Chain A
């Protein structure tokens, strides 16, 4: 039972194949196919039903002018037929180059937001993980406190941030005490952005930290010993042992972090409310506002922004994976 420690496993499947003859291999792969799909079926059914279907419908809506008025519905005796029409790419064009010019400011802010949040969160998470990975007295105590932002629902903690960041809140008192002056964290467009990134970082660090800590512990101690024997300085050890050793973990974490941050809904919505802070809304909150914040609800535009978010992330992920593969190739 002690084998579960991070021993590098042989690539799955390959060993079995070599041993089996061609006929039985075909039969087995057929069997295995059904076994595998049976085991994946629950996930696929759930995701297909609750994400796939809305997604397909959403893609359809983007080519229409659908709103809550013209999509057919029946309420008792009132039967409202489908009257929306197909408008081709008009909605996309309108959002990307329409006269209100709402998309691009939100888009650039979303990019800045994602890049800064992920950079800061990953660096802090990594830094703290490195510290926690050392033999520190009171390690589990620190770890417990450091993980609180993840364990407590954001609904509660972000309210706390709202109070602390208020004009006469604790943060400003603290800044005043060290002579940094009062800042309008929650109303000035620039400081709003800083506050949003700071709070999101606060929320996101614990998860990164724990995951990085896991990754660090998977790096064999012998590598460090060897490096030390070669006379590597602590920085060199970090640069040449820790970072490469973490790459399998961190590359996926960064990707997940980017996807989650790009579509992060709660922090901005809860920190600023819906109305008074237009410039701090990222694409997702902006699209939510389009959809829910008005009568009639604009299905077409909301879906279009959603699909644009998806497309941006798909394109990005593709590049990211290629880049990662090249990095790995270069390393080998």
Chain B
């Protein structure tokens, strides 16, 4: 008896480890094609509290219209999704059939062979209705790997009444004007004229404004050390240390603090994307929505204004079997149809990716209407898988540059050294 108990305990413990080695149960992605209804898994990275209900409702509509397909809706936090998908795909197990993927992730996924090309499939049937830069951003080496679901870009958001108080009648169109206007706002209205969120994505307009980018793909060059990039970042550093510009907040809560200051009228202008309009309208200063001014980001000395295009694509996983892939394509087509996009835009106040979704009902939202106007100034990213990874080292050094820990030149050449690890065959200049 005594022996029995002890042995049983041990056996249980070993059995747990052993069963671990033996069986290989089915995972989220079923890999057998069967005749019955196909269940596809969708990883959605939208805001689980505010945006997901809209998507879940659309999923229900889709299931009703397509009784042969069931959708397993999984909400995955945005911050985890890229690594979680990459890990699952690299290990060959656990990846979803469809995922909402940031536009920046797509080239990397495609290069690693994780994605199904969607050209000629039902998913891309209405390709011509989409904004062309968005299709360009979803294309890798000539093949379309994702269908744009929502889009965004950066714009100058300003508080009209604070600008009016300072006697400013139109939005600044160059960085120099923004600097002068900020000083004016501080002088006349007593609040900061501009606040900058010190992250590399938000610094992109300063590079585009000088006609450059992080890399020159055609010339196989890293552009951080170029005269144009140095000029752009020097302009930025000068701006954030100018009178009337809010003290730089590099803390982890910095982003939220800037949004709070803007919403409550303590800062007159910021560079921000459409995803924040809903929150801005909740702010005390924007109870009257018409107080929010939206303009294209200011231009640099080259006279060009440009902002990065963000947003999300729906992508299909290459590891799924034919039946699941077919169902996934159908699902993607449904979620990106004009009707679905109109629903998403009206419910979630995000920007549609197709021209035919900007209906009167959608543009009744002043945030969407304002951003639609600046969308054309968006600059698509080059389709190399490492591009989005450059934001990391660039952002790290940018913080050091802007907080005065290193000079513009030193910071950008440090960025170059780190960027060369990612792109060893690119010239450093």
Contact = CB atoms under 8 A, between A and B. Distances in A.
A32 interface: no
A162 B249 CA distance: 13
B396 to A, nearest CB: 4
A297 B396 CA distance: 18
Interface string B101-118: 000010110011110100
Interface residues of A, number: 44
B13 A42 contact: yes
A167 B251 contact: yes
Nearest to A185: B251
Nearest to B396: A278
B32 interface: no
A276 B250 contact: yes
Contact of B388 (A77, A276, A295): A295
A233 interface: no
B244 to A, nearest CB: 19
Contact of B418 (A100, A295, A297): A100
A166 interface: yes
Interface stretch (B42-50, B162-170, B184-192, B316-324): B316-324
Given A42-B13, A78-B113, A276-B399, A73 B251 contact: no
Contact of B396 (A74, A166, A186, A275): A275
A198 B409 CA distance: 34
B20 A166 contact: no
B92 A75 contact: yes
Interface stretch (A139-147, A203-211, A286-294): A286-294
Contacts of B127: none
A186 B422 contact: no
Interface in B1-42: 10, 13-14, 16-17, 20-21
Given A75-B114, A276-B198, A296-B112, A271 B14 contact: no
Contact of A276 (B20, B83, B321, B396): B396
A42 B10 contact: yes
A276 B112 CA distance: 28
A49 B253 contact: no
B199 interface: yes
Contacts of B111: 69, 296
Interface in B380-429: 385-386, 388-389, 392, 395-396, 399-400, 403, 405, 414, 417-418, 421-422
Contacts, number: 120
Interface string A175-195: 000000000101101000000
A189 B252 contact: no
Contact of A272 (B91, B252, B317, B321): B252
Contacts of B249: 167, 187
Contacts of B107: 295
Contacts of A68: 86, 90, 112
A46 interface: yes
A76 interface: yes
Given A42-B17, A75-B92, A276-B396, A293 B251 contact: no
A327 interface: no
Contact of B251 (A69, A75, A187, A292): A187
Contacts of A184: 251
Contacts of A167: 249, 251
Contacts of A276: 198-199, 250-252, 254, 395-396, 399
Interface of B: 10, 13-14, 16-17, 20-21, 83, 86, 89-92, 105, 107-108, 111-114, 116, 198-199, 248-254, 257, 317-321, 385-386, 388-389, 392, 395-396, 399-400, 403, 405, 414, 417-418, 421-422
Contacts of A277: 250, 399
A259 to B, nearest CB: 25
Interface in A76-127: 76-78, 80, 99-100, 102
B417 A99 contact: yes
Interface of A: 38-39, 41-42, 45-46, 49, 68-69, 71, 73-78, 80, 99-100, 102, 162-163, 166-167, 184, 186-187, 189, 271-278, 289, 292-298
Nearest to B403: A187
A73 B90 contact: yes
A295 B399 contact: no
Given A187-B249, A296-B386, A100 B417 contact: yes
Contacts of B17: 42, 45-46, 49
Contacts of A166: 251, 253, 257
Give 3 nearest A-B pairs by CB, closest first: A295-B108, A78-B113, A294-B389
B78 to A, nearest CB: 13
Given A75-B89, A276-B198, A187 B250 contact: yes
For B13, B21, B388, the residue with the greatest tally of chain A CB atoms inside 10 Å of its CB is B13
Main secondary structure of the interface of B (DSSP, over half): helix
A186 B252 contact: yes
A80 B94 CA distance: 18
B317 A49 contact: no
Contacts of B108: 295-296
Contact of B14 (A41, A102, A296): A41
A292 B84 CA distance: 10
Contact of B392 (A49, A69, A293): A293
For A68, A166, A274, A295, the residue with the greatest tally of chain B CB atoms inside 10 Å of its CB is A295
Nearest to B422: A294
10 contacts: A42-B14, A45-B17, A49-B17, A49-B21, A68-B112, A100-B417, A275-B396, A275-B399, A276-B252, A294-B392
A163 B319 contact: no
Nearest to B418: A100
B320 A76 contact: yes
For B107, B403, B421, B422, the residue with the greatest tally of chain A CB atoms inside 10 Å of its CB is B421
B123 to A, nearest CB: 16
Nearest to B324: A76
A45 B10 CA distance: 13
Contact of B113 (A38, A73, A162, A274): A73
A86 to B, nearest CB: 18
Given A100-B417, A187-B251, A278-B399, 19 more contacts: A42-B16, A45-B14, A49-B17, A69-B112, A75-B113, A76-B320, A78-B114, A187-B248, A271-B252, A272-B252, A275-B199, A276-B198, A276-B250, A276-B395, A276-B396, A293-B389, A295-B385, A296-B111, A296-B386
Nearest to A71: B90
Contacts of A186: 250-253
B318 A275 contact: no
A275 B388 contact: no
Contacts of A99: 417
Contacts of A163: 253
